[in-house]
Chains A and B, each alone.
Chain A
């Protein structure tokens, strides 16, 4: 019995996350049939799309053994930048470009400090969290800025196509782009090489610093894009968006997808699964009216259990 079970388990291990997602969907829909309604499933995807975009874009950073704690404030400041540009009468593409550009600038600063001086990513991005939040608050103050009269802008986050909200398409597009970057461009190879053995990558002639600049810029650009979508969803921009804890949710989604914080292993496609896993859990507990305290505890326990199981499977 056990002898026949072991090979099956080994065969299934790589798909454990998919199985877990299906298992939870089955359990939630058994307990509450409304869970399987199309509106609810679309709702789950819409809710995870912002975290998802940030998580997919941060995957490369975590694959190299780094981390980006500054995504929350970047989300806020990029929304503000887009808002101010549009308010000043510039056309929509310029507004979006301004928001993304601010994000990319922060990411380049992160990457530069980390790559050029060899500073620890957790501290650099922690300092940047503080710096960017302060800058956003100086620029935008503590108030909400209402966005009015930009119909095509609000369509980005609040519109829908064929009954499916736009953020889902955008999440899909970003995920597809990053997966393409990982599997069809040299960047994916370089990231894996740095994560595996940074010294070896450098000695074999890779320009490690250039790759780091690119991946931290990508992580921040993802946060900037999420920030723009959020401002269009809620029709306001504010310096306080992306509150403390956003970055931890994003990191949790990436590591649940199997990307290791010690670098080397990881895949953007599996990050999408990690995002969906968290989304299903959150939505299921909401629909079952689980109180917020038990939700937090369950989330913590599930993250620890999932990663411990993954660690066990490796040995």
Chain B
């Protein structure tokens, strides 16, 4: 219930941001701007939802940018060098990205590395792997060849929702990119996973107190590995939507996106102290960041100022999260404290 209220506040803030920019920025409240928002930030939302899983466990995954590039490059190689059909490429790419995430989990569980260090090391290793398998360098002539597989490019289709609903005569709705629907589908699946299954309850238990969870009989190690696998899977999905839009993959794809994804997850109310949050918040957080960046661009504010404001938004988000946590703790302490004796202080 409380999580639901937090999400409602976040959605309210998101809508207020949209309304504010709609009033201030020319061309913000237009169909094409919302098309930009949906096609440009759906993959950030997907990454942020994935990132929520390690953070729920009090961990972090710094390697998702490199995983994204790795998944993209595998798709590039399989399509342009091996000439595999797209319906084979998609599952293979997703499996590879999931495996990359699982390896992170194994490093954390079996080598007892801290998540920050394990994923920092795998960030370097995966990025190196991207250069190693780069089809652009193995076959230089391919570096200017776009991916033309219809299954992969099919991910970049746009749907005219307005016409489909028969209301385009009254209001001009944005065309919705398939990546947005993929994001929604993933959101529904991950929400169900966290909220409706035993696995999800275990994740919250492990994030809240790993030792207590272990004593309660939850297989903590397996849950941790699975969560990093989910995070890798999301990076794979994000990679596919991204290369479909770019029709190519580069070695530098996704550099720095891990920090954006972490920021979106934190803005979306996933607490770095573990066990608090969901996947709906991170998705909204990503689009909130996107709306602010697009709105500021339309207002003609320089990219440099936008960086400053992005940092400020992050500080405000984590500050309010902290304030909520303190209030929650105080209320808990007040409930647990023995009733004050009559005539006591206060």
- Listed in ascending order, the chain A residues whose CB lies under 8 Å from chain B are 67, 69, 113, 117-120, 122-124, 126-131, 133-135, 137-138, 244, 248, 251-252, 255, 260-262, 291-301, 303-304, 307-308, 311-312
Cross-chain contact B319 with A304 (CB below 8 angstroms): no
Additional A-B contact list (11), CB under 8 Å, known A123-B314, A131-B311: A119-B322, A122-B60, A122-B116, A122-B272, A127-B310, A129-B259, A248-B62, A293-B132, A296-B127, A304-B125, A311-B111
User: Which of A131, A291, A299, A307 makes the CB contact (< 8 A) with B312?
Assistant: A131
Cross-chain contact A297 with B129 (CB below 8 angstroms): yes
B23 within 8 A of A: no
Cross-chain contact B318 with A138 (CB below 8 angstroms): no
Contact string against A for B residues 289-316, beta-carbon threshold 8 Å, 1 for contact and 0 otherwise? 0000000000000111111111110110
- Smallest CB-CB separation from A135: which chain B residue? B308
B113 within 8 A of A: yes
With the chains together, A124 CA to B266 CA distance in Å? 11
User: Which of B113, B130, B326 makes the CB contact (< 8 A) with A307?
Assistant: B113
Cross-chain contact B302 with A138 (CB below 8 angstroms): yes
User: Which of A130, A134, A293, A300 makes the CB contact (< 8 A) with B131?
Assistant: A293
- Are A130 and B125 also in contact (CB < 8 A) when A137-B304, A248-B120 are? no
With the chains together, A130 CA to B309 CA distance in Å? 8
With the chains together, A147 CA to B173 CA distance in Å? 54
Cross-chain contact B125 with A301 (CB below 8 angstroms): yes
Q: Within the complex, what minimum Cβ distance (angstroms) separates A264 from chain B?
A: 13
- Are A119 and B307 also in contact (CB < 8 A) when A131-B312, A300-B125, A303-B121 are? no
Chain B residues with CB under 8 A of A118: 322, 326
25 CB contacts below 8 A, A to B, read A113-B315, A117-B319, A123-B262, A126-B263, A127-B263, A127-B310, A127-B312, A129-B311, A131-B311, A138-B305, A251-B120, A261-B116, A261-B117, A293-B128, A294-B128, A296-B125, A297-B128, A300-B122, A300-B126, A303-B121, A304-B111, A304-B122, A307-B121, A308-B107, A311-B112
> Among residues 70 to 112 in chain B, which have CB atoms less than 8 Å away from a CB atom of chain A?
107, 111-112
- Are A296 and B128 also in contact (CB < 8 A) when A304-B122, A311-B113 are? yes
Q: Which 9 A-B pairs have the closest CB atoms?
A: A296-B128, A300-B125, A134-B307, A293-B131, A130-B311, A131-B311, A297-B128, A300-B124, A134-B308
Chain B residues with CB under 8 A of A291: 131
B118 within 8 A of A: yes
Contact string against A for B residues 110-149, beta-carbon threshold 8 Å, 1 for contact and 0 otherwise? 0111101110111111111111101000000000000000
- Are A304 and B322 also in contact (CB < 8 A) when A134-B311, A297-B129 are? no
- Are A293 and B129 also in contact (CB < 8 A) when A138-B304, A248-B120 are? yes
Cross-chain contact B259 with A126 (CB below 8 angstroms): yes
B256 within 8 A of A: yes
Cross-chain contact A262 with B307 (CB below 8 angstroms): no
Chain A residues with CB under 8 A of B315: 113, 119, 123-124, 127
Cross-chain contact A304 with B113 (CB below 8 angstroms): yes
- Smallest CB-CB separation from A304: which chain B residue? B121
With the chains together, A312 CA to B113 CA distance in Å? 10
Chain B residues with CB under 8 A of A137: 303-304, 307
Q: Within the complex, what minimum Cβ distance (angstroms) separates B297 from chain A?
A: 14
Chain A residues with CB under 8 A of B303: 137
User: Which of B132, B273, B307 makes the CB contact (< 8 A) with A294?
Assistant: B132
Cross-chain contact A308 with B113 (CB below 8 angstroms): yes
Cross-chain contact B128 with A126 (CB below 8 angstroms): no
Chain A residues with CB under 8 A of B3: none
With the chains together, A300 CA to B125 CA distance in Å? 5
Interface centre among B62, B117, B312 (most CB of A within 10 A): B117
Q: Within the complex, what minimum Cβ distance (angstroms) separates B259 from chain A?
A: 6
User: Which of A261, A300, A301 makes the CB contact (< 8 A) with B123?
Assistant: A300
Cross-chain contact B129 with A307 (CB below 8 angstroms): no
With the chains together, A137 CA to B60 CA distance in Å? 29
Q: Within the complex, what minimum Cβ distance (angstroms) separates B140 from chain A?
A: 15
With the chains together, A130 CA to B122 CA distance in Å? 24
With the chains together, A133 CA to B146 CA distance in Å? 34
Chain A residues with CB under 8 A of B307: 130-131, 133-134, 137
> Among residues 227 to 257 in chain B, which have CB atoms less than 8 Å away from a CB atom of chain A?
255-256
Chain B residues with CB under 8 A of A127: 263, 310-312, 314-315, 318
Chain A residues with CB under 8 A of B259: 69, 126, 129
Chain B residues with CB under 8 A of A301: 121, 125
Chain B residues with CB under 8 A of A135: 304, 308
With the chains together, A131 CA to B316 CA distance in Å? 13
User: Which of B116, B256, B310, B312 makes the CB contact (< 8 A) with A67?
Assistant: B116
With the chains together, A260 CA to B117 CA distance in Å? 10
With the chains together, A294 CA to B132 CA distance in Å? 7
Cross-chain contact A297 with B125 (CB below 8 angstroms): yes
Chain B residues with CB under 8 A of A252: 120-121
Chain A residues with CB under 8 A of B62: 248
Chain A residues with CB under 8 A of B130: 293
Q: Within the complex, what minimum Cβ distance (angstroms) separates A231 from chain B?
A: 20
- Are A297 and B124 also in contact (CB < 8 A) when A255-B117, A311-B112 are? yes
Cross-chain contact A262 with B114 (CB below 8 angstroms): yes
- Smallest CB-CB separation from B272: which chain A residue? A120
With the chains together, A88 CA to B311 CA distance in Å? 30
Interface centre among A117, A126, A130, A133 (most CB of B within 10 A): A130
With the chains together, A131 CA to B305 CA distance in Å? 8
Cross-chain contact A123 with B310 (CB below 8 angstroms): no
- Smallest CB-CB separation from A314: which chain B residue? B112
Q: Within the complex, what minimum Cβ distance (angstroms) separates A65 from chain B?
A: 11
User: Which of B120, B255, B256, B318 makes the CB contact (< 8 A) with A124?
Assistant: B318
Cross-chain contact A244 with B318 (CB below 8 angstroms): no
